[in-house]
Structure formats: structure tokens, C-alpha cells
Amino acid sequence: MGVEVNRGVDWQGVEEKMVIFTDLDGTLLDYYTYSCDVVRPLINKLKKAGVEIVPCSSKTRAEIEFYRWQLGLDAPFIAENGGAIFIGRDYFKFVYEYQRQAGEYNVIELGMLYNNIRRKLDAARQENGLDFKGFGDMSEAEVATLTGLDMASAGRARQREYSETLDIIGSEVELKHTLDCLKAAGLDWSRGSRLFCVAVGSDKGVAVEVLANLYKQKWGSIKTIGVGDSPNDEPMLAVVDFPILVQKPPGYWENIKLPNLYKVNGIGPDGWVKAIEELTDTR
């Protein structure tokens, strides 16, 4: 696509424990089918090598749990664009601060709760005559049609706790007006592969830093890798040691400019495998 790949980092001699923070949609998962088959063999090798793989996604806890189960992952994960960090209760053997327990997890909450976000959205919509629909306004069948998810996956996508996903209707001018109104209402927004994520206080970069500090308490020294494909991944990529940007179909990179950003020639999970194999020398 005429874009020069900037590596700019020393990919050799990385001996510290590695933690990979990775987006899911269009990155670890296929952009169209949401399959993780491409990455499965490499992830099995990484697990055997002691590399931690931490999903950091706009997806909900229920969605991420599904893919963690498929891939056999047991590391903590970051849900809903940094809204919360979910950590197995016995994962870290030292005392750390968290806000609540939910099922098998200690939960570090960074974002506003879903019901409060919905109240802000409803007020902004009524006051400004905005035309959008959130997952909370849709049935599972509507979410499935919009996203291409199957019904079970659409149900998991609706189990939101710290953010709302919006389908914003209208022209580019109307889109800008809607986003400006949401910002004026105190709502933060980010654009994912397909839709908009709205939250308050959620930040992938902050969540990655919090969790990376816990890993440093555990191991003393780590190297962090971040892999993403969309603008909402930029905060995560900005705080890791090795930021990687994979391509979107049909083969382009989002316009993200960061020092030492590796724009890998590979779409989604194919790019994920290519970059991580190169970095970890795991083939």
C-alpha cells in the first residue's frame, strides 16, 4: 500500500518474561468469521514457553471468556476497552487493590458502570435528537444481523458492564454532530473495527499499565508486547515496549503514528502470527 514499515526496535535478545496484550476483533480473530484457528498453533507454543497472553478488547467479559476457553488461556484479561481488569482470584500470590469479586475473579474497575452510561446516553439522545442504537436497544437477533455474529455470540456481546456499543446512523456531518454531543455529555468514545464504543473513564492504555505493574511485582522484569488493528488500540500500543499494528482487509493499516510502531505486512491473525513469530523466534 506504499507505506514504509517502521520497525525501529531491537527484536533480538529479549530475555525477560513476555506479556502479550492483544486486541481480539480483526487482530487475534479473523475480521469476518471471528475464528481463532490461525493463531491456535502459535499460542500453544507460546504457552509452553511461558509467554502470557492477555486479551485487551472492547468485547465483554462473557465474550472474552469464550475465546479464552477456546485457546486455553488462564491469564487475566481487560474487557470493554479498559473498563475493567479481570484477574483469577489465586493468580497473583500477593495483595493488591481491586474493587469487587465476581465469580472466579478479582475485578479492578476503571470505568463507569453500564447502567450509568445508558442514562447519560438516553439523556443526550433526547436532548439533541440523536439517531443511534446501542446494543441495549437491540435484540440478540438485531445484534447478530448488525455484526455477523451467531445468536449465542450476540447474546454474549449484549452482556455489557462498563461500556455501550453504538451503531450511529447518518451522514458524516450527522456522525460528527452525534459524537460532539456525546462528548459534551461527558461520554468518551472510540471507533473500533465496525462500531463505536462509548464509556466513561475506560482506557486500554491505563488498564495495560495497571496490569503490567502487577506482572512486574510478580516477576520483577517483563517485556510487554501490544497487538492491535484499530484506533481504539492506540492507547494500548502507546504504553507497551513492542507495539504492533496488523493490517485490515484488504491490506491497509489504520493511521496510527507511534514511535517504534511495527506495521506488519499481514492481515489480522496472519499478521499477528508473523509478528509474534519474529519477535519471539517461535516458529
Domain with residue 131: its CATH number is: 3.30.980.20
Query: Residue 11 domain-assigned?
Result: no
pLDDT tens digits, one per residue of 22-45: 999 999 999 999 999 999 999 999
Are β-strands 84-88 and 105-109 bridged in parallel, bridged antiparallel, or unpaired? antiparallel
71 and 194 share one domain: no
Half-sphere exposure of 99 (CA within 13 A, CB side): 11
Task: Note down pLDDT in tens along the chain; length 283 residues.
Answer: 333 344 444 444 456 799 999 999 999 999 999 999 999 999 999 999 999 999 999 999 999 999 999 999 999 999 999 999 999 999 999 999 999 999 999 999 999 999 999 999 999 999 999 999 999 999 999 999 999 899 999 999 999 999 999 999 889 999 999 999 999 999 999 887 678 999 999 999 999 999 999 999 999 999 999 999 999 899 999 999 999 999 999 999 999 999 899 999 999 999 999 999 998 887 7
What residue type is 217 in one-letter code?
Q
Question: Alpha-carbon Rg of the chain, whole angstroms?
Answer: 18
- Give the count of domains, the chain: 2
Residue where one domain finishes, among candidates 199, 234, 256: 199
186 and 208 share one domain: no
C-alpha closest to that of 217 among 95, 42, 38: 95
Asked if residue 6 lies in contact with residue 243, where contact means CB atoms within 8 angstroms, the answer is no
Distance CA 23, CA 168 (A): 23
Which of 23, 25, 30, 167 is catalytic? The answer is: 23
39 and 96 share one domain: yes
Whole-model pTM: value is: 0.91
60 and 82 share one domain: yes
55 and 194 share one domain: no
Phi, psi torsion values for 190, nearest 5 degrees = -145, 155
Query: Residue 8 domain-assigned?
Result: no
160 and 267 share one domain: no
For residue 118, the enclosing domain spans: 114-199
Residue where one domain finishes, among candidates 174, 199, 224: 199
146 and 33 share one domain: no
Q: Which helix (H) or strand (E) holds 252?
A: none
Asked if residue 169 lies in contact with residue 133, where contact means CB atoms within 8 angstroms, the answer is yes
| Annotated catalytic residue 23 | yes
What does DSSP assign to residue 248?
B
